[in-house]
Structure 1
Amino acid sequence: MPTTTPAPQAADAQEVEALHQLIMQSLDDDQAVETVSIPLAGKSSIADHMVIASGRSTRQVASMAMKLAERIKAEFRRPVRIEGLPTADWVLIDAGDVIVHLFRPEVRSFYNLERMWAFGDAPPPPAMGQG
């Protein structure tokens, strides 16, 4: 009886960490600006990490996104979804366990994802109606 290939399973913690490290190194190699990694494990079901970084221009943002997707596909043999590449103001790279947002600086400051996803790291909003 021929052997069958097992169905793909959810990535284990070691593989997720290796993917995260590859992403961080790739962005560093491509001179990303203000790279931030937000841990999501146990806080959100969408991914284990969210990485946010900026490029100096739409050309750099697009280049970083394409190189990152190629590196993930080559190293982990997993599909990568990319959105926003034509304009490259904000490019989303969905690598499954790690979500990457690449921005031009003005667009990044406008959306301020770091603040939105800062679980308990940001000061609480002022209480209303007290007094």
Structure 2
Amino acid sequence: MIAFLETTALALIPAVVVPIASVSVGQFYPIGQGLAHGLLMAGVGSVFVGLTAFLSLILRGEYTPVVVTLAILMVPYLVLQEWARRVSWARKIDIAHVMAGAWLLTWGDVPWLAIVVVCLLTGLFLGLAAKQARRLEF
């Protein structure tokens, strides 16, 4: 739970800083847009917290779960970034584009299906982590 709160706090820092800083350069960035992008980033990014929680229970080592999670993220990310430039449907499965959202985020632009899939995956990883934790003796 603490990790999810930390993720949300980190995602919301730019949501507050960018609108305030934009005024200092003579621009306007709506705080609602910042909050929407921050919540989207925190919500979709929660799958990585769930994955790391699960991996921390099945892998040995202090940093191994984080390194494995980063490897699981980076390979598809690097492949999909190039693919998403050429194939429009690839943007829908590219988690980086889902986390970022549209440039001007509206209710119609929110990737609802991707959010549901990510929530289900997060629940799956946390369920597997809970099941694995019951088996372990600390």
**With structure 2 as the length reference, what TM-score do the two structures score?**
0.29
More strand by share: 1
Of the two structures, which has the highest relative contact order with CA contacts closer than 8 Å and spacing of 6 or more? 2
